[in-house]
Every structure is written in structure tokens, then in C-alpha cells.
Amino acid sequence: MKSKIVIFVAIVMLIAIMGYMAWDLFLSAPPEAKNPWEYKLSDLKRVDSSIPNYIEMKPFKPEMEEVHGVDVDMSGTIYVVGKNRVEIFSRDGNLKNSFPISGIGTCITMRNQLIYVGILDHIELFNISGDRIKRWKRTAPGSVITSIAVNGNDVFLADAGNKMVYRYTAEGKLLNRIGQKDTVQNIPGFVIPSPYFDLAIGKDRTLWVVNPGRHSFEHYTMEGHLLNSWGSASNSTADFCGCCNPTNFTLLNDGSFVTSEKGIERIKIYSNEGVYRELVATPEMFAEGVKGLDLAVDPQGRILVLDPAKNQVRVFVRK
Amino acid sequence: MPTRRVFLQNLIRGGILAGLGLLTGSLVFRSRKGGTCRLNISCNVCSKNGSCTLVPAFETRQFVWQLDPSKCIQCGRCATECVRTPSAVKCVHVYAMCGYCDLCGGYFKPDTKTLNTGAENQLCPTSAIKRSFIEDPFFEYTIDENLCIGCGKCVKGCGAFGNGSLQLQIRHHLCDNCNECAIARKCPAGAFSRIPATSPYLLRGFGKQPLSGDKPGEPESF
Amino acid sequence: MFRISREFWLLLLLMLLAGSSFAIQRFPRPEFETGYQQPDTMLPGPRAEIMAVVDLAVLILALSAVSWMVLKKRSRKGVFWVSMFSLVYFGFYREGCICAVGSVQNVTLALFDQTYPIPLTVLAFFIIPLIFTLFFGRTFCAGVCPFGAMQDLVAFRPKTINSKVDAALGMIPYLYLGLAVLFAATGTDFVICRYDPFVGIFRLNTGFSMLLFAAILLLTGIFIARPYCRYLCPYGVLLNWISRFSYRHMTITPAECINCRLCENSCPYGAIKIPNSVKYAETRRRRVRKLMFITLLIPFLMVGGGWAGSRLQETFAGVNRTVKLAKELLVSDQNGQDIESFEIKAFRSSGKPLTEVYQEARIILHRFLIGGWILGAFLGLTTGLMVAGKLLENHQSDYVPDKGACLSCARCTDYCPVMRNTMPTELNHKA
């Protein structure tokens, strides 16, 4: 009799085990969406969305796989470069022309009827129909060209790989280097932790260059003398966040700076003396983790923002 | 006297042997797409992806589990789901990608006022990252694996604000190499896969492409 | 003397190779002026490949040893010690993974998914025990499987289970095998590994629920000997079938059975077939009626089972992660989201289009439909055959092990008084 009870209990236990297996496999609830070690970036990014004085208009949609650079010329034509292609748009967003390039384009600038395209470690020059005029040699081994600026007979290349700005003539002859660490002249040297290094031509034959690791803008003459610099680091809206920001910038007609950052993705405007003025676009408008929001300003003052996550050129206009 | 029964028995035995032989043959000598398989493993990933995305395996085709940092969303399950306690997943520092920044996005909490090694400033719940000064303005960050639990907080910070040189990886001297990885089951991004044991790590460079040692001079693409 | 084994050098070489690939300069390495040397990212490698071959060699040796112990030496003690060695090696040292039981899933996955290259050692772990079983019976179960060894350790008070209950419970391994194959074939999960009771003990590192699972099973195992082996093990189904056709299965008596009945209660698993009558005759009519019943029953069970299996399509498919994601996305689309699960977050950041997920889920659901029919029909067939086996019992004159169910543990040999080399007497010689 006792035997029978024992057998019965044992069999019940066995069936219970099988029942548990079936329940766990088919009926158990999905795992919780709670991460005990969550790092809430969204808290950092929360900004009152009514603050910006800019509204977004209809974007341009280039047809390439990846977009990396944008520029506007003096007539308002928009040039976009990305993976293996350059596309040219008219002011109202119609595709005017497009042509292939021999690699991944990282930056683009259009001046003097020539399109300067940075392709990883060197630049190539094209005319507006897309024929390649010239291919320049790379600046030095390990070069990564992240920005090009042209002013008359001077071509400036920002080389993030060698952490240097190079000045060339329009024919391609190297004139001088800018930004090399020099304790006598108080030039701190560029700290470039990630491949984002932008520059732009300023007023009176000067050059503005971002020093991303030091979160500052440095003002050089074209011969390489450091004039002044501004910029500070923190997560607040008035400063540059993270380890290396801003990633891109452009200058408005009055000399004020439009900057874009990664980490806390936002577009801001600073006065021509480096005082924070206002927000153009908040982090909510961008996909989390997007990097390389290249900027350009067209003659009407519209701010064009390249969005690599959405593969678009987004347009912001003052209210 | 050999009967019909014995004959049938021998027939079935032969059938079983033949069946097992067929099974072995079909799984060992799989057809290779295009005949140019460089890997000797005949897995046909090339026919699925259009090109071979694996690295060579040894003859016994041993595979191990690994997670792909480019898919990882740092959900924290690597720390809780591993059958081992503490988890076999640890944060790995790819020094080659690190910017050595003063304000490290993976080390410091976002609202840190002074950049020092105080525990109250650190993101890491177990203070597993060690910060040491090298020269102005560079700091070295190393991970103490005995303390790291694989939660991914630093990975998220480094990925958002920095270069993404901190990546979660399964450490193979700790991993049991289960037939079905328990973390792989629960990973929301499906970042886990079996890769050849001869190349057991999947580290990602800029632009999320794999870091490999065979192209020294070329600059990294975006 | 300290000797460095070949495996050590191989492991060291692998580690060095893995670690050295990051000595190369990569953008954007800062320029260090103080002579700081950037450290290499350490990448320790996994267990050396050669060790998997060593495992295979140990498997073959253990199988040979136990088969010899069972068939030649007929020694229960020998089988016991081989099984203890297997418990230590395959259980605690290798931590129960990779095992022959789980290899069923790997083989299934390899057959259905062209992109899964099955490691050759796993294939060997599947095939080799089957081959030994074809020649010598289920000696794998007796002396090599660590699960069996674990359960043997606790089988203090084995009780006899009623044969009908035993037959009913004996259907569960077929269900488990079918589900394991179904889930492996659809690339959903390895359920055998998921519900592996002893792996936590082997690892000496386990969560509470796993420990409880193992404890209950072992507790049951005190009174029902080898419960996992008899009523759960999916690999046991294959071993059972193959063992029935084995060339040289173990016998209780080394020569002729003298019907002394001493072995009757010696088998803790109830695997001994007992003689059922001196003269047993069934009228032809009854037999024909039974056969007709069986001929009708089996197709009925197969169709019924297949239909039931197809009805369970959604339940089965719900285990698959793609189907789960598709369901979640569907629900969140309709209701709007309050808290987004990680699965949805990851999906959104992957950039995959919604339609692709739905399409994949649909294909998988369809595979589960077909799989459900096949699983159900398979279970119907096996249940029908089991019933047929019970109905059509044959005349049994000697005490012999049930070739399918006998685990070749050799306990019964200790009870048999017959000496080897006994000449068969006229009396025992049956036609």
C-alpha cells in the first residue's frame, strides 16, 4: 500500500516537471523591459521643443546609400556627396545632375566653377558636368580629409588622420601647415579623437578651425598664426557635450556660427564672438546616435542639415 | 535455419547503417556554392549573402558564440542571462579606437562637475574602469575584468559621446560554449551568432565595419 | 617532471595569434610624446580545437569499455565504474556539453538550414553511440551518458511501474523528440538544452529554479529508476529503435535460460520480458480481429494527431523569436506604445522594414503548420504501434531483456545462476 502511494507521488512529481517544461516553453511571459543598469540618454536630451526659433521645411532626398557631406554655392545650388556619388540639386529640391566618384566621399565644396570632393585620403576636382579634372595626391600617409574650404587661390584641407590643416594653392602646391602644436606660439595642437574635423573661411583672410578634443574654435591667419579661440565643454545647452564636439559647423553671413554635435544631437547658433545664442534643432528631431550632421547655409539664410540616419538634407528656416 | 524474420532483421540493420552513412556524408560534404569556397566549411553563407562573410575554420569546424557590437543596444541582459555568474560577457577596450579623452563618455556620469576618479563620478556600477593620466590631454582607460559584470553602461556612453571603443564581447576563457547560448535566446537585437573558433571575436571599427588585422596602411572608412 | 602538453602550446599559439592582430596603428591614435605604448586588446581564445577530438576519442574508448564489460565480462561492477568515469569526464569536466542527447538538435538544424555548418565532432557524438547500439545494444545508456550515471547514483528504492502506466509515460519521449526536432528544424530553439536538468550541477554554478528542477527529478529518481532516461530522453527513442535490431544484445543468461525466476525482480527499469505461458494460443479469429482494429486505429490516430498538431501551430510558433517580434509589433501598432520593449527598440534601430518581419513570420508560421501535422501524425503512429505491440503480445518462453528498453546496465547478470559454457540440456532445447 505504501509502495503504491510512493509510486503515485513519484509519477505526479514527474508529470509536474513535464508540465513545468511545457508551461515555461509555451506560456511564460516575455522578459521585462527593465534594464537595472540603464543609462538614460533621453533624460539628457530632453529640451523644450518650443524653444527653437526655426521650423523645418521639406527635406531633399538624395538617392545614394550613405550621405557624408553637403555644400551650397552662391547661386543656391546644393551639392551632396556620399558613398560613390555626388548629387546636385536646385534650390527647390529638383535633382539637376549626379555623377559617380571613385570611393566614399567625405566632404564637398564648390567654388570657382569647380567641385572639390574629399574621397577618404585625398581630394579630386570635378567640373559641374561631373568630369574629373584633377586628382590630388594625399597630404601625408594616414590622411583622412574631413573638410575642404576654398578662398580665391587658397585651398584648405582639414586632415583628421594627421591632425593638421594644410594650405595649398589652387594648382595643388603645398604652401604651409596650420595648427601644428607650437608652445612658443601657444598653439595647443589639434586633439581629434574621432573622424570629425571641420573648418571654414572667416573674414579678412582668416580661417576658423574646430579643435574637437578641446571643444573649441580656433581662429588662424592663413599663414598659421593663432589669433584667438573660444569654446567650453559641458552637457548644458550653451556648451559642447561629450568628448569631442562640435563635429561640424558653418558660418552665417554676419559671422555667427552654426554648430552641430554628436552624443546630444543638436544644432545651435553662437554669435560671432562665441556667445551662445539659440537652438535650431533639438535632439528629438534626430535618430539616437546619428553622427556627422554636416551643415551649409544657402544665400537666403536657410540652414541645411545633412542627416546620415535618414539619408536626407533637412532644411530649417527662421520663423 | 535462416528465416524470413532474420532476413528482415538484417535488411533493417543494413538500412540503419546505410541511413547513418548517408546522413554523415550529406552533412560532411556539403555542396559549395560556386566551388570557390575558401573556408572548407561548406556552410553556404555565401549563397545567402552573395559573398563569404566568415573567416577560415579548422578542420573540425568548431564554432563559438560571439556578439556583434554593431547590433548591440546595451539592454543589460548580457549581465543577467548568462548561465555563469558572473557573466562571461565583459566589456572589452579596443585601445586602437580610443580617443584617450579627458572627458570620457564611457567613464564619467553625464553631470560630472570635476573630472577625477571619484566613485561618485563613475558610470560603472562596479567601478571596473581604471583611469590613469598619460600626458596632456590624454588619459588611459583600462577595464578590470574581475569587476566587470557586462552591463553595457559604459558601452552606451562611449558609443553615444565617443568613438565606441568600449565593446561588449564574450570572453572565451570564461564561456562554457553551450550548445544554445542562453543570452543569445534573450538578446533583443539578435546580436549573437556562431562564429569559427579560430577567429572568436567580433570587434567593430568606425562605421561599424569589422576590425581585422590584414589591412595595415589603409585609413578606416566612415 | 613537469611536461608541457601539446594542447598547451597550441592554446598559447592561438592566444598569441588572436592578441597580436591589434598591434597595428588605427585612426585616430593620438600622438603620444612621453613614449607611452598603447596596450594590445587582449583576446583570449576558446578551448583548443584538438580537445574536441580528444573528447571523441574518450567517447569511443568509454563505449568500447562498457560494451566489453556488458557483453564479455558481464560485470555490473565494471559497468558501474565506467559510468562513474563518464560522469566525471563528460559530466563534471566537460560540463555536460556537448552531449549525444543534444546532438539530435544540431543534426536536425544542419539538415534543414544550409547555412549551419555542424561541427564534425558533434556529428560524431550523434552517430557513434548509434553505431555502438546497433552492434551491442544500449551500452551508451549504461556506461557513457552522464545523465544516466547521475540518476543511477540515486536509484535506491526502485519500484515497479504498472505496465500500462509505463507504456503511457513511455510515449512522452516521442513527444519530446518530436518537439525538439520541430523547434530545431525551424531554427527556433534547442529545447533539450533549455530543459537540461543536470547541467547546472555539472557546472557547479546554477540558478534556483534549475536546482529545484534537478532536485525534484533526482527525488523522483529514488523511487522511479532513471526517470529521465525512460520517460523523457529523446535520444533514447532512437537508441530504443536501433537497439531492437542490434547484432549482439546482452542476455541475462550466458547460456540457456533455465526459468529459475531469480532475475524476475532484478531490473529496476522493468525491462525484462517474462515468459507468459507454457502453451499460449490465440484463436486465429481473435488475431484477425485485433489486426483489423489496429489497421483502422493507426490511420485514425495519425490523422487525428496531425490535425491536433496543426491546431497547435500558433502555440508552437509563438516560441520563435521572429514570430514573437511580429506579434509584438502588431499589438503595438494597434494599441500604441506605453513602454517599448527592448525587442521593439532594437528592431526600430536596425532599420529593417516592418513588412520584412511580417513576411518572415508568415513563412515560419507556415513551417510550423506543416511541422505540426507531421509531429501529430508521428505521435499518432507511435501511439498506435505501442497499442499494437500491447495487443499482439507474442509467446515468450525465456527471461530475456526487452531489446528496446533494456539499458544494458548488467544488474540482472548478477542474479543469474547459470554458468558460462553450460551445455544446453534436452529439456530446455526448444524448437
Instruction: Show the 3-state SS of chain A.
Output: CHHHHHHHHHHHHHHHHHHHHHHHHHHCCCCCCCCCCCCCHHHHHCCCCCCCCEEEEEEECCCCCCEEEEEECCCCCEEEEEEEEEEEECCCCCEEEEEEEEEEEEEEEEECCEEEEEECCEEEEECCCCCEEEECCCCCCCCCEEEEEEECCEEEEEECCCCEEEEEECCCCEEEEECCCECCCCECCCCCCCCCCCEEECCCCEEEEEEHHHCEEEEEECCCCEEEEECCECCCCCCECCCCCCCEEEECCCCCEEEECCCCCCEEEECCCCCEEEEEECHHHCCCCCCCCCEEECCCCCEEEEECCCCEEEEEEEC
Mean pLDDT of A13-17: 90
Q: Could you say which residues from 259 to 318 on chain C have a Cβ atom under 8 Å away from some Cβ of chain B? A: none
Instruction: Show the 3-state SS of chain C.
Output: CCCCCHHHHHHHHHHHHHHHCCCCCCCCCCCCCCCCCCCCCCCCCCCCCHHHHHHHHHHHHHHHHHHHHHHHHCCHHHHHHHHHHHHHHHHHHCCCCCCHHHHHHHHHHHHHCCCCCCCHHHHHHHHHHHHHHHHHCCHHHHHCCHHHHHHHHHCCCCCCCCHHHHHHHCCHHHHHHHHHHHHHHCCCCCHHHHCCCCHHHHHCCCCHHHHHHHHHHHHHHHHCCCHHHHHCCHHHHHHHHHHCCCCCCCCCCCCCCCCCCCCCCCCCCCCEECCCCCCCCCCHHHHHHHHHHHHHHHHHHHHHHHHHHHHCHHHHHCCCHHHHHHHHHHHHHHHCCCCCCHHHHHHHHHCCCHHHHHHHHHHHHHHHHHHHHHHHHHHHHHHHHHHHHHHCCCCCCCCEECCCCCCCCCCHHHCCCCCCCCCCCCCCCCC
Partner-chain contact C189 B178, CB within 8 Å: no
pTM: 0.85
Does B90 touch chain A if contact means CB atoms closer than 8 Å? no
Tell me the shortest Cα–Cα distance from B128 to chain C, in angstroms. 16
Residues of chain A that touch chain B, judged by Cβ-Cβ distance less than 8 Å:
31, 35-39, 41, 44, 66, 68, 104, 106, 120-121, 141-144, 161, 191-195, 213-214, 233, 235, 241-244, 262-263, 288-289, 292
Does C190 touch chain A if contact means CB atoms closer than 8 Å? no
pLDDT of residue A71: 93
pLDDT of residue C337: 62
Mean pLDDT of C143-171: 92
Does C50 touch chain A if contact means CB atoms closer than 8 Å? no
pLDDT of residue B209: 64
pLDDT of residue C333: 77
> Which of C32, C156, C220, C233 to probe the A interface (max A CBs under 10 A)?
C220
Count chain A–chain B contacts defined by CB atoms under 8 A. Answer: 89
Question: How sure is the predictor about A86, in pLDDT bands with cuts at 50, 70 and 90?
Answer: very high
Query: CA nearest B82: which of B184, B206, B204, B194?
Result: B184
Partner-chain contact C46 B173, CB within 8 Å: yes
Partner-chain contact B27 C26, CB within 8 Å: no
The complex's ipTM works out to: 0.84
Partner-chain contact A39 B123, CB within 8 Å: yes
Question: How sure is the predictor about C150, in pLDDT bands with cuts at 50, 70 and 90?
Answer: very high
Range of lowest pLDDT (A40-49, A288-297, B211-220, C200-209):
B211-220
- Residue pLDDT, tens place only, C331-381: 887 776 667 788 888 888 887 888 999 999 999 999 999 999 999 999 999
Partner-chain contact B220 C115, CB within 8 Å: no
Which chain C residues are Cβ-neighbours of B163 within 8 angstroms?
28
pLDDT in tens, chain B (222 residues): 568 989 999 999 999 999 999 999 888 776 544 445 655 555 555 655 666 655 544 456 788 899 989 889 999 999 999 999 899 999 999 988 888 888 888 999 887 878 888 888 899 999 999 999 998 888 999 999 999 999 999 999 998 888 889 999 999 999 999 999 999 999 999 899 888 787 788 888 776 666 653 332 233 333
Which chain C residues are Cβ-neighbours of A142 within 8 angstroms?
25, 27
A touches which chains (3+ CB pairs under 8 A)? Answer: B, C
- Residue pLDDT, tens place only, C16-29: 333 333 322 345 56
pLDDT of residue C424: 55
Q: How far apart are CA C344 and CA C365, in angstroms?
A: 20
Mean pLDDT of A225-250: 88
- Residue pLDDT, tens place only, A180-213: 888 888 888 888 888 899 999 998 889 999 999 8
- pLDDT over 70 (residue A49): no
- Residue pLDDT, tens place only, A125-183: 999 888 999 999 888 888 889 999 998 889 999 998 888 999 999 888 999 999 888 88
Partner-chain contact B222 A262, CB within 8 Å: no
C216: nearest CB among A13, A193, A195: A13
- pLDDT over 80 (residue C139): yes
pLDDT of residue A36: 87
Is the pLDDT higher at C185 or at A263?
A: C185
Mean pLDDT of C191-215: 90
